[in-house]
């Protein structure tokens, strides 16, 4: 449901469609650490591709570990 709303919001007459997006929750990151602080949404046509999923999760982990998440959220 959320991906559908995001897709409608971010598309340009369905000429541009987000294939994935990541949200980051700074409060959760500060309180509970890395686990669960990012929410990764993948386009339904791609969400069953294990290779794609693994690589995106690695990318999210890399960003969390190598960048100041507080700066990215401001």
Tally of CA atoms within 13 A in the half-sphere of 45 that contains its CB: 4
Task: Enter the tokens of residue 65.
Answer: 């570990």
pLDDT in tens, 45-55: 888 999 999 99
* Residue-level pLDDT at 54: 93
> 3-state class of 32 per DSSP?
helix
Question: Is 34 in contact with 40 (CB distance < 8 Å)?
Answer: no
Domain membership of residue 31 as a residue range: 2-72
| 37 token code pair | 């602080």
pTM, 2 dp: 0.65
The pLDDT tens digits of the residues spanning 13-54 come to: 566 777 888 888 888 888 887 787 888 888 888 889 999 999
| Count: domains in the chain | 1
């Amino acid at each position: 449901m959320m991906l559908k709303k995001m897709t409608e919001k971010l598309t340009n007459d369905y000429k541009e469609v987000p294939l994935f997006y990541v949200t980051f929750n700074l409060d959760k990151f500060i309180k509970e650490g890395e686990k669960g602080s990012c929410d990764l949404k993948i386009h339904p046509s791609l969400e069953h591709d294990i290779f794609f999923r693994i690589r995106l999760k690695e990318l999210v982990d890399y960003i969390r570990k190598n960048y100041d998440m507080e700066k990215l959220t401001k």
